[in-house]
Chains A and B, each alone.
Chain A
Amino acid sequence: MPLNIHLLIPELVLLSFIILMVILDFFVRDKRQIGVVGVVGTVVTGLALILVPKKGSALMGLVIQDPAAVFFKFLFLIVALSILYMAILYDERIKHWKGEFYILILFAILGMMFLASAYDFITLFVSLELMAVSLYILATYMKDDTRSIEAGFKYLVTGALASGFLLYGISFLYGYTGYTGFEEVAGALGQGRGGFLTLGLFLVILGLTFKLSSIPFYIWAPDVYEGSPTPVTALIAAGSKTAGFVVAMRLLFTVLGPVKEEWIGLVVFLSGATILLGNLAAMPQKNIKRMLAYAGIGSAGYLLIGIAAASILGAEAMMFYLLTYIFAIIGSFLAIVIFSRVSGSDSIDAYIGLSRRSPLLAATLFIGLLSLAGVPPLGGFIAKFYIFAAAVKEGLIGLAVVGVVMAIVSMYYFLLVVKRMYLIEPEVVEPIELNLLTRATLYGVNIVTILLGIYPGPFTDWLMEVAKDFF
């Protein structure tokens, strides 16, 4: 098989910029400039990604490039841009090793980009660990804050356990088929079934739920979301979850598609339980990052409906959901980072009267949260609509009903924040100043979220084409 290393040029460009940042870190005093170099690197990587061929397999079939992989790589680059920007805004709160903060963010993004292309269990596992180890370090970055240390420790321990599950499952699949490449495994699965296959499958799916933050490995999410530095929380919420779903889609649709009936029951159960748990547990939360953690668990449940549907429509719905989810998360967390610089607090009560102090900030959080809740005419509504449509079409009526009921329940906890921002009179009324770049970014994110809701046609048509690659 050919090497085709040119398909990996975007990743190599990003890696070169990371190395450049490591070197520059020795000379630069104001570490925010390292972050700016990272932003430039991300943009150049994006340009390279536009030029690179959109189809092919590289490095002896260990890596694949298809429109779906390119779509997810663009999503990761968008995440990278906004997280780097958040990190630059967050710079003053990081006390030690400021330069490495930006470098590790891009290492995590690099791992995610490799994951989007992984077509072999060994590539998959190694890329997954590259992302995970970077995130473990980032979650623990505020060494003076015990909550950050607790977050990092919990993340590491659960992550190691989940990796163990995943690896054990992979070893069963390897033992059963004799191969690690996705294509060979898929071919060998067509020839027969066995008890060890099902065991391996279950272990792999359970191992992946750590990245998706769904049942059973969701326990880390609230503490890690609350304790990590906010840009890292956003990176885990937007990037790590998306990466987990890329892997889940590639693995379950492409490789394990032929043995669909073996895993669909498990996914349906995980999906329903996760939706219920995430949305019900989000209600009593007092901290906005913690609330978003449970909302994120709920979202993982909705996305699992798409997996359970196991159809082209399901895959398309998941990709559109992830697109709107990422923009909603970016918008909400940008607002949270900017607001916490002024107030120094992440508690929901601190948001009282935000609309008086900064209408734009309040509007961004409003649009982000309501898009997560799935309120029309925002992007999140169309995404949920497609997910439920895919479920109904595949006969998963019960799951769709649970989803719709819980989507209505989720309005409650999102509207609690909205009520505090808009309806309660604040004690502090001094306005929050935003510079031009921040204003432009916030407007941009809001416009995308609204656009995805009122004019989703071109995106959904295109994603429908992309989704066909999975089957």
Chain B
Amino acid sequence: MVEAIAFYVFGGLSVLTALLVIFQRDPVRSAIYLVACFIQVAALFVLLRSPFLAAVQVFVYVGAVVVLFLFVIMVLELKKERFSEYIHRGQRPWALFIIPALIGEVGYLAVKGKSKASLGPYSEEFLVKQGSTESLGKVLFTKYIFPFEVVSLLLLVALMGAIILTMKRGKE
């Protein structure tokens, strides 16, 4: 019962804030409403017993992506009236086709219910018993330790790249 109420509150708020994102004229406000929307979605993930996904949602989308948006908006100094210049008129007819298709898809999935893809070793009972965060952590630091370490090399290379491509000094 409590869960159902929480679901409708978070779900309703996320739809409302998502609508506010597109109806705002000021891009900065749009971005802030986007943050609010993402946080509601993170709360929905908690309700679905995926705390890890919720944390990633907050870290990556709220913490990194939207902040990046805000930086771009501020660097470009977009004014309210100029914002619409960046929206292509040609997209509108396409949107009229795609939006009903997406709504139809969501409706189909809502009626049809569960998808029947195979889950491999990670069945539902297994995840409920172990908790998805714990299973993910275990598998990341045991079985997948090699790709995990390669990612650290990848980050080192990316770091070097950022310095090489942006710093002026380094003349020998």
Among A29-55, those with CB < 8 Å from B are 29, 31
CB contacts (< 8 Å) of B4 on chain A: these are none
- Provide the bound-state CA to CA distance between A184 and B118, in Å: 13
Q: How far is the CB of B150 from chain A (nearest CB, A)?
A: 5
- Are the CB atoms of B118 and A188 closer together than 8 Å? yes
Stretch of B7-15, B26-34, B157-165 that contacts chain A? B157-165
- Are the CB atoms of A103 and B160 closer together than 8 Å? yes
A59: nearest chain-B partner, CB-CB: B146
- Are the CB atoms of A122 and B157 closer together than 8 Å? no
Q: Which of A15, A62, A95, A177 contacts B118 (CB 8 A)?
A: A177
- Provide the bound-state CA to CA distance between A178 and B163, in Å: 40
Residue in B161, B170, B171 with the greatest tally of chain A CB atoms within 10 Å: B161
Q: Which of A127, A136, A152 contacts B150 (CB 8 A)?
A: A127
Does any Cβ of B come within 8 Å of A63's Cβ?
Answer: yes
- Provide the bound-state CA to CA distance between A140 and B144, in Å: 32
Count of interface residues, chain A, beta-carbon cutoff 8 Å: 39
- Provide the bound-state CA to CA distance between A136 and B160, in Å: 12
Q: Which of B121, B122, B153, B158 contacts A110 (CB 8 A)?
A: B153
B155: nearest chain-A partner, CB-CB: A133
- Are the CB atoms of B146 and A100 closer together than 8 Å? no
Does any Cβ of A come within 8 Å of B101's Cβ?
Answer: no
- Provide the bound-state CA to CA distance between A137 and B33, in Å: 36
- Provide the bound-state CA to CA distance between A176 and B163, in Å: 41
Interface range on chain B: under 10, 10 to 19, 20 to 34, or 35 or more? Answer: 20 to 34
- Are the CB atoms of B150 and A130 closer together than 8 Å? yes
Among B99-156, those with CB < 8 Å from A are 117-122, 142-147, 150-151, 153-154
Residue in A95, A120, A133 with the greatest tally of chain B CB atoms within 10 Å: A133
- Are the CB atoms of B143 and A62 closer together than 8 Å? yes
Does any Cβ of B come within 8 Å of A190's Cβ?
Answer: no
Q: Which of B122, B153, B164, B172 contacts A29 (CB 8 A)?
A: B172
- Are the CB atoms of B150 and A123 closer together than 8 Å? yes
- Are the CB atoms of A137 and B165 closer together than 8 Å? yes
B161: nearest chain-A partner, CB-CB: A137
CB contacts (< 8 Å) of A97 on chain B: these are 163-164, 170
Q: How far is the CB of B143 from chain A (nearest CB, A)?
A: 5
Contact with B along A113-153 (1 / 0, CB 8 A): 01000001011001101100110110011010000000010
- Provide the bound-state CA to CA distance between A15 and B149, in Å: 12
- Provide the bound-state CA to CA distance between A120 and B147, in Å: 10
CB contacts (< 8 Å) of B165 on chain A: these are 137, 140, 143, 152
- Are the CB atoms of B117 and A141 closer together than 8 Å? no
- Provide the bound-state CA to CA distance between A57 and B10, in Å: 48
Q: How far is the CB of B154 from chain A (nearest CB, A)?
A: 5
- Are the CB atoms of B118 and A178 closer together than 8 Å? yes
B143: nearest chain-A partner, CB-CB: A60
Q: How far is the CB of B148 from chain A (nearest CB, A)?
A: 9
Does any Cβ of B come within 8 Å of A339's Cβ?
Answer: no
Does any Cβ of B come within 8 Å of A107's Cβ?
Answer: yes
- Are the CB atoms of B144 and A137 closer together than 8 Å? no
Does any Cβ of B come within 8 Å of A104's Cβ?
Answer: yes
Q: Which of A95, A129, A141 contacts B171 (CB 8 A)?
A: A95
Q: How far is the CB of A21 from chain B (nearest CB, A)?
A: 12
Contact with A along B11-54 (1 / 0, CB 8 A): 00000000000000000000000000000000000000000000
- Provide the bound-state CA to CA distance between A129 and B156, in Å: 12
- Are the CB atoms of B117 and A133 closer together than 8 Å? no
Residue in B119, B151, B158, B165 with the greatest tally of chain A CB atoms within 10 Å: B165
- Are the CB atoms of A175 and B150 closer together than 8 Å? no
B145: nearest chain-A partner, CB-CB: A59
- Provide the bound-state CA to CA distance between A95 and B118, in Å: 54
Q: How far is the CB of B122 from chain A (nearest CB, A)?
A: 8
A174: nearest chain-B partner, CB-CB: B120
Does any Cβ of B come within 8 Å of A154's Cβ?
Answer: no
- Are the CB atoms of B164 and A122 closer together than 8 Å? no
Q: Which of B118, B119, B164 contacts A141 (CB 8 A)?
A: B164
CB contacts (< 8 Å) of A107 on chain B: these are 153, 157
Does any Cβ of B come within 8 Å of A93's Cβ?
Answer: no
- Are the CB atoms of B171 and A137 closer together than 8 Å? no
- Are the CB atoms of A62 and B153 closer together than 8 Å? no
Q: Which of A98, A136, A175 contacts B117 (CB 8 A)?
A: A175
- Provide the bound-state CA to CA distance between A137 and B166, in Å: 11
- Are the CB atoms of A96 and B120 closer together than 8 Å? no
- Are the CB atoms of B157 and A137 closer together than 8 Å? yes
Does any Cβ of B come within 8 Å of A179's Cβ?
Answer: yes
A15: nearest chain-B partner, CB-CB: B153
CB contacts (< 8 Å) of B154 on chain A: these are 126, 129-130, 133
CB contacts (< 8 Å) of A103 on chain B: these are 160
Known interface pairs A130-B153, A177-B118, A179-B120. Does A104 touch B146 (Cβ–Cβ under 8 Å)?
no
Q: How far is the CB of B162 from chain A (nearest CB, A)?
A: 9
- Provide the bound-state CA to CA distance between A98 and B117, in Å: 51
- Are the CB atoms of B119 and A31 closer together than 8 Å? no
CB contacts (< 8 Å) of B158 on chain A: these are 133
CB contacts (< 8 Å) of A31 on chain B: these are 172
List residues of chain A with CB under 8 Å of any chain B CB. 15, 29, 31, 59-60, 62-63, 95-98, 100, 103-104, 107, 110, 114, 120, 122-123, 126-127, 129-130, 133-134, 136-137, 140-141, 143, 152, 175-179, 184, 188
